[in-house]
Amino acid sequence: MAIHRIERIEGTALPMRGDDIDTDRILPARYLRAITFEGMELHLFEDERTGSAGGDRVTSTHPFDDPRFRGATILVVNRNFGCGSSREHAPQGLYRAGFRAVIAESFSEIFFGNSMLIGLACLNASPDQITELQTRVEQRPNLTLRIDVKASMCELGDLRIPLSLPASAKDALLTGAWDTTGMLLDRYEEVTAASEKLPYVAGF
C-alpha cells in the first residue's frame, strides 16, 4: 500500500453540535447490507435527515443538508463522537463524502482507530474551543480551516486553536504508517516466536 503522509488538512468546516453521536446515527444498519463500502457517503445520517416517512433532504434542517456547509472537508463535533457500533461504514461514509478530518472534544476508541486506519484524521480540542470553533464556522462558513498536524494547531481566520492527538496517531499520520498491515507483517518470525510461547497456542 502506498505511503500516504498527512501533514496538513485544509478546507471548509461543518459544525455538528451534540454529545454521544453514535455510529447507528452516522450510518444506519440497513446500509451495512453490502459487501463493499461503495456509496456509503449517500446515507450519512440518513434517518435524521429524511425519517421513515421518506422526507426529502431539501426541507431537512440537518447540518449535513445545510447549503452553507456544502463541500466541507472537516467535521467539528463535541464529546464521545462515534460511540456504539464498530462499523467502519461510518468513517468510510464520512471519508467518501469528502471529509478528511474530524475535530472533537473526544472520540470513541473504536471509531478513532477505524478512522485513522483509512486516513480520516481525528484530532481533539478542548470543549470551549470546540464551541468557539463551531460558532465561528457558523458565522463564516466559507472560511478555510487549516489543520497543521505537525504543529497540532488549527487556524480559522484569526482564531488559532491547539489540537491534540496521541503521539502514535500523530506519527502515523505524518509518516503515512496508518496503513498498518504491512507494518504488522514485517519480520513475521517475531510473531511466530511470540505465539509459540503462549501455552494455549502450544496446546497446553
Partner 1 sequence: MAKTLLQKVWDLHTVRTLSTGQTQLFIGLHLVHEVTSPQAFDALRARGWKVARTDRTFATVDHIVPTRERTRPFLDVMAEDMITALERNCREFGIRLAGLDDDRQGIVHVIGPELGLTQPGITLACGDSHTSTHGAFGAVAFGIGTSQVRDVLASQCLALEPMKVRRIRVTGKLPEGVYAKDVILTIINRLGVGGGVGYAYEYAGDTIERMSMDERMTICNMSIEGGARVGYVNPDETTFAYLKGRAFAPAGDAFERARAWWRSMASDADARYDDDVVIKAEELTPVVTWGVNPGQSVPVTGRVPSGNEQDADPKAVADALGYMGFKGGEAMAGMKIDVAFIGSCTNSRLSDLREAARIVRGHRVAPHVKALVVPGSVSIKRAAESEGLDQIFRDAGFEWRGAGCSMCLGMNPDKLVGSQVCASSSNRNFKGRQGSPEGRTLLMSPAMVAAAAITGAVTDIRQFEKVS
Q: In what order do the strands lie in the sheet with 13-15?
A: 13-15, 74-76, 101-104, 121-124
10 vs 152 by CB, closer to partner 1: 152
First CA to last CA across the chain, in angstroms?
38
Residue 193, number of CB atoms within 10 A of its CB: 10
Site for partner 1 in 147-166 (CB under 8 A): 166
86 vs 152 by CB, closer to partner 1: 86
103 interacts with partner 1 by CB under 8 A: no
To partner 1, the closest distance from the beta carbon of 155 in angstroms equals: 26
142 vs 197 by CB, closer to partner 1: 197
Cell of 77: 463535533
109 interacts with partner 1 by CB under 8 A: yes
To partner 1, the closest distance from the beta carbon of 150 in angstroms equals: 15
200 interacts with partner 1 by CB under 8 A: yes
96 interacts with partner 1 by CB under 8 A: no
135 interacts with partner 1 by CB under 8 A: no
One-letter amino acid for residue 37 of the chain: F
> In angstroms, rounded to a whole number, what is the distance separating the alpha carbons of residues 106 and 123?
8
CB 45 within 8 A of CB 89: no
> In angstroms, rounded to a whole number, what is the distance separating the alpha carbons of residues 138 and 116?
27
Distances (CA, A) of 101 to 121, 124, 171, 189, 201: 4, 11, 16, 36, 40
15: left (phi over 0), alpha (psi -120 to 50) or beta: beta
> In angstroms, rounded to a whole number, what is the distance separating the alpha carbons of residues 90 and 44?
8
Q: Which stretch binds partner 1 (CB under 8 A): 5-13, 48-56, 57-65, 156-164?
A: 48-56
Query: Could you give the string, one character per residue 6-45, with x where binding to partner 1 holds by CB under 8 A and - elsewhere?
Result: ------------xxx-x-xx--xxx-xxxxxx--------
Catalog residues that contact partner 1 under the rule CB under 8 A: 1, 18-20, 22, 24-25, 28-30, 32-37, 46-48, 50-52, 79-80, 83-88, 91, 106-110, 113-114, 117-118, 166-169, 171-172, 175, 177, 180-181, 183-185, 187-188, 190-191, 194-195, 197-201, 203-204
